[in-house]
A and B are shown apart, each in its own frame.
Chain A
Amino acid sequence: MKKLSPPRALLTVALLLTAAFLICFGLMRGEFMRVLSKAASICLECIGIG
């Protein structure tokens, strides 16, 4: 099996880890509730009223 060049594969892994870190960090800061509170009410700008 031939592998990708290490920097590219490493970059992919690093980005995956970054994504996991960002999600966990955001969840710890309570961002899930912030997204939920915004998404659970009608966004007037989105529908073209606000």
Chain B
Amino acid sequence: MNVSESGEKMHKKIKRIIRPLIQGLSALAFNLNLTGFASGSIYTGPLKGVCVPVLNCYSCPGAVGACPIGALQSSFAAIGGKLAYYVLGMLLLFAITLGRFFCGWLCPFGAAQGLLHKAPVKKLRIPKCIDAPLRCLKYAALFVLVIGLPLLARNGVNMSSPYFCKWICPAGTLEGGVPLALANSSVRGALGGQFAWKLSLSVAILALCFFIYRPFCKYLCPLGAFYGMFAKLSLYRYTVDASACTHCGACAEVCKMGVDPAREPNSGECIRCGDCKRICPTGALKTRACFGCEKRNLTQKGGNE
């Protein structure tokens, strides 16, 4: 092995550990109130009014920011069903700037799922005829549970519930419910059937992670659905150098989200993990972070031709 080969190998190794490192640091940054885990209480400072770009429950004892999906639902569900312009604006800003990059690089729950998938067990390959309709579930979660029901299913005092948080969100159960129940006796005393349902669902999702890569992100996450809808307009984008791409299929083979980056580099399912760029033998896949300015010879696929 010559010097350049070993240097390249080292470079690839460093690139491989950067994402887990950033994921760990971001999980820590979004959950810096570490004393809350011991005291069974949550952070109540002014930062809690700022939305974070990931699904990180604000009832997690460590959370120092607001989950945008939780904040959106609670605004819709409040008395009178108020539109949450501030939260919608933050969500749109996140979607248009980095979009699902947040899912792939910063989301603590996404990172946890990815970590479980590293377990050496036989992985499941979901047939496309089942996988494709299942992926629509996350859009149903967004439009029905996050927006529709909290706005429309009102009770006698014109209030509603954050339906996604209440019945589905495993991040709320695992990051908020379980740590609070362990450390706070009054929370522990109030647990009932709803918690049992949410905990069972969360455990089922975590168990699925051993066999399927990020099942929650693929099939259920309303935040991923929102970001995915703007993937083709996001400032952070992938491009394919048409003159360099040999159509070898290596990028599609390595993609654990089931995307074919050579055909659709800006798919709403892509979480921008960068595995495809690393595996590409000709370096045809590139990252662009701008309003779409590109070098000559680059064909921007995925809806831009």
Contact = CB atoms under 8 A, between A and B. Distances in A.
B247 to A, nearest CB: 22
B304 A32 contact: no
A45 B89 contact: no
Contacts, number: 180
Size category, B interface: 35 or more
Contacts of A23: 85-86, 89-90, 93
A7 B198 CA distance: 44
Contacts of B252: none
Interface string A12-38: 110110111111111101011111101
Main secondary structure of the interface of A (DSSP, over half): helix
B85 A40 contact: no
Given A4-B300, A47-B195, A48-B172, A12 B96 contact: yes
Contacts of B88: 22, 26
Contact of B85 (A5, A12, A13, A29): A29
Interface string B226-249: 000010111100000000000000
Interface stretch (B1-9, B51-59, B125-133, B136-144): B51-59
Contacts of B66: 35-36, 38-39
Given A26-B84, A46-B58, 9 more contacts: A5-B304, A19-B92, A22-B92, A29-B86, A35-B84, A40-B44, A43-B70, A43-B172, A49-B192
